Amino acid sequence: MDKEKELQEELVWNAGYRMNESLRMIKICLEQLPEKAIWQKPNESANSIGNLILHLCGNITQYGIASIQNLEDNRKRDEEFSTTSGYSKEELIQKLSDTIDEAKRAFYEAPLAELLRKRNVQGFNFSGVGNMIHVTEHLSYHTGQIALWTKLLNNQDLGFYDGFDLNVKNE
């Protein structure tokens, strides 16, 4: 295998791994919350977990799917934040899981030229690699918000790394 292809596969695999980790953590959070908490906001300037998940689905679709696959951008960003109900925890997790899977497929199937091509998304100019990094870090950012809101609601550790010794030193 040539080095470019090897690097591409390594980059795409790691982006997918990080996206899966964020999804795993969001699932843990939602499992610990009652249904009514999903649309609850900590205050008027913050978003509910439901809004954050809808926002993640919109953002991942825009940057990671439509842009990478050269599809029409049909995102309705304002609706991601104005929605106040209509999805259960299970439906939100399924929607996010399906969106992440579709984005990972788009990353894996994209030829190197497409990952290197610059394009405008949401007014920003990034390559496909830039979009992949954006999707990964944006998902992680909002996963942290969901985790914090869950901790504030439940006043308990989330157990993301139960069974792991996180004090092990680098080799």
Q: Is 167 a domain residue?
A: no
How many CA atoms are closer than 13 Å to the CA of 47, on its beta-carbon side?
A: 18
What's the pLDDT score for residue 4? Answer: 87
Q: Is 65 a domain residue?
A: yes
Please state, in angstroms and as integers, the Cα–Cα distance from residue 30 to each residue in 2, 34, 56, 117, 147, following that order.
Answer: 42, 8, 15, 37, 9
Which residue, among 43, 52, 29, has the nearest Cα to 150 in the 3D structure? 29
Q: Is 159 a domain residue?
A: no
Q: What is the pTM of this model?
A: 0.95
CATH number at residue 18: 1.20.120.450
Q: Which residues contact 86 (CB under 8 A, 6 or more apart)?
A: none
User: How many domains does the chain divide into?
Assistant: 1
Enter the tokens of residue 63: 């940057």
Q: Is 160 a domain residue?
A: no
Please state, in angstroms and as integers, the Cα–Cα distance from residue 130 to each residue in 49, 53, 114, 170, following that order.
Answer: 26, 22, 11, 29
Q: Which domain holds residue 150?
A: 3-154
Q: Is 170 a domain residue?
A: no
What's the pLDDT score for residue 1? Answer: 64
Which residues of the chain are under the pLDDT cut of 50? none
Q: Is 165 a domain residue?
A: no
